Copies of this chain bind each other. A is one copy, B any other.
Amino acid sequence: MYFHKQELQFKATPEKPDAVYARKLQEVLGGQYGEISVALQYQFQAWNMHIPGKYRDLVFGIGAEEIGHVEMLATMIAQLLEKSPLGITEDALQDDPTVAAIVGGTDVQHAIVAGAGARPVDSNGNPWQGSYITASGNLLADFTANENAEMQGRVQAARLYHMTDDKGVRDLLGFLIARDTMHQNMWASAAAELREKGVEDFPVPSNFPQSKEHTEFSYQYLNFSDGAEAADGPWASGPSFDGKGEYSYHDGPTSSVPMPPPTHPDVRLYGTTELPNIVEKTAGVVQDTLNKE
């Protein structure tokens, strides 16, 4: 169960309206790596988790915080839009290029659809979607997904920091970036613990028997481009990250087979086959069949 409290975790009030910036801020609310994504990702991981205890407490503990971050951003966006020209008649006069430029750079659905409110979309107006999230039930895989999400999110927030000089907005971003710092660290620490305790390890999933994979290819770097510098990386020689193999470097594939012959599915799927080549022998028969059925 979830309970709401009519307070915010941090101040979310801009100094001045800025509809163009409101559009940009939508990215960290409703984008691929926005707060809706992490909020739902952590909660689905919790609901699907197979282990009671600290890892489940962890994803539940963070998941609810992230819904509050969605709320702070939505509140901020509504205020950025409140007094900003949204294309309403006198404001949008094309004679004033500054105003025209502002209106042109906004998310026009902020005005037309939401009446100066936030929306569950990214900075280009693409609706948030369920396919952004990851919850596989494998904890090392999922915590790595979380690490990535917090990294991408912090990169985006850092970029947004420099796209405004509004002290109120920067203040909120400074808070959200701090939380991203914590969350990146947290997932990295949690992933490290999973490996230390042997709960999961590289390669994920670690209890799939490696005897079933073609291990001769398991630690080969195969270079399908013509740049040769990747031979110098730690992935090209020496012990592998998982400690279970030795890397080797190869220019191109170390195996190859001919392509299998083309398929010939049922003629009633009306794909094109070699019919003309074999027309004397079989076409009549095939056509008879088609006519008959």
Task: Compute how far the CA of A198 lies from the CA of B137 in the bound complex, rounded to whole angstroms.
Answer: 33
Known: A3-B64, A104-B105. A262 touches B51 (CB 8 A): yes
A280 in contact (CB, < 8 A): no
Known: A43-B71, A101-B101, A152-B134. A6 touches B234 (CB 8 A): no
Q: Are A155 and B114 in touch, CB under 8 angstroms?
A: no
Q: Are A221 and B158 in touch, CB under 8 angstroms?
A: no
Q: A interface, how many residues as a size bin?
A: 35 or more
Q: Are A111 and B262 in touch, CB under 8 angstroms?
A: no
Copies in the complex: 6
Q: Are B209 and A155 in touch, CB under 8 angstroms?
A: no
Partner of A256, one of B8, B109, B225, B264: B8
Task: Compute how far the CA of A40 lies from the CA of B242 in the bound complex, rounded to whole angstroms.
Answer: 26
Partner of A270, one of B12, B87, B138: B138
A:94-152 near B, CB below 8 Å = 94-95, 97-98, 100-109, 111-141, 144-145, 147-148, 151-152
Interface centre among A123, A148, A263 (most CB of B within 10 A): A263
Task: Compute how far the CA of A132 lies from the CA of B291 in the bound complex, rounded to whole angstroms.
Answer: 33
Q: Closest B residue to A223 by CB, please name it.
A: B61
Q: Are B159 and A135 in touch, CB under 8 angstroms?
A: no
For residue A67, which residues in chain B have a CB less than 8 angstroms away from its CB?
A: 2, 67
Q: Closest B residue to A133 by CB, please name it.
A: B120
Nearest CB in chain B: distance from A34 CB, A: 10
A:148-187 near B, CB below 8 Å = 148, 151-152, 154-156, 158-165, 170, 174-175, 177-182, 184-186
* Minimum-distance CB pairs A-B, first 8: A104-B105, A48-B117, A124-B125, A137-B271, A115-B137, A127-B130, A57-B227, A120-B130
